[in-house]
Amino acid sequence: MTEPATRRGSDIEALDWQGQAIDCSSCPHQEALRAGSCAPLKACVLDRYAPRIDRFFAAHPQWADQYLDHPYFEVRAVAVKHASLFRLAGLINDPDETVRWSVAMRLPPTQLHRLAGDPHREVRIRVAARIALDHLPAMMHDDDYYVRQVVARRLATGLLHRMAHDPDPEVRKVVAARADGTLLLGLANDPDPDVRLTALQRLPAHLLAPWRGDPDWRVRYAITERIPPEFLEPMLADSDEEVRRVAQSRLATSQDHS
């Protein structure tokens, strides 16, 4: 058996997934070794270091299918990137989330609903980003707020009202950034100031007057920047100095142009 090799300037040794020094003489791909398309510390399917496994399969994608049941999860996860699409369904229930994440990256969108209930959030995030739109509504009530954010970014606008009362304000902000009509008006009254701000920044300026007394100064500031000049006078007495400054500046400009 060869001695563990160390890459120059690095302490990442050429060890296999069980922590043993890699023995090239036992590798089944001797032709690749002789051709120089695999080598320790460069590209090796026996290595436990994922980038070297990745370089091996990038050079030899034709061997990926035969490694989909390898005992080391990194080998399976990287092999999935190059394997036949017809083999991927068998890995939907792989015990390792890294493998399932790789599967979610490659499965056709129409088949991703089979991973929509995966126990790992990173897998579900990838599923939500790629799943066919007709399967997307089933993920609107996912336990993870970020999964729901991804859903809200892709959901058909006609269905956004179903997420307007999501328990997480970050999700409602995404809805407010895409909503229109009465739904947008409703979100302008959201209990969270960031959601209100997002909604009010998209409302037409002539509709903003009712929010001049919003409790959050950022909302009042944004309104003062856009509201028609005839509605600005009450903002001169605002409790926030920056709001008053913008109101004074805009009123002075409008008077100069009158």
CA dihedral 169, 170, 173, 178 (to 10 degrees): -130
Q: DSSP alpha helices (H): ranges in 107-216?
A: 121-130, 145-154, 169-178, 181-187, 193-200
Question: For residue range 132-154, what is the model confidence (pLDDT) as tens digits?
Answer: 999 999 999 999 999 999 999 99
Residue 209, pLDDT above cutoff 90: yes
Question: Could you tell me if 88 and 80 are in contact, meaning their C-beta atoms sit under 8 angstroms apart?
Answer: yes
Question: For residue range 45-59, what is the model confidence (pLDDT) as tens digits?
Answer: 999 999 999 999 999
Of 40-44, 166-170, 241-245, least confident by mean pLDDT is 40-44
Region 19-32 average pLDDT: 90
Q: pTM for the full model?
A: 0.87
Question: Could you tell me if 80 and 106 are in contact, meaning their C-beta atoms sit under 8 angstroms apart?
Answer: yes
Question: For residue range 70-109, what is the model confidence (pLDDT) as tens digits?
Answer: 999 999 999 999 999 999 999 999 999 999 999 999 999 9
Ranges of each domain in the chain: 1-63, 204-258
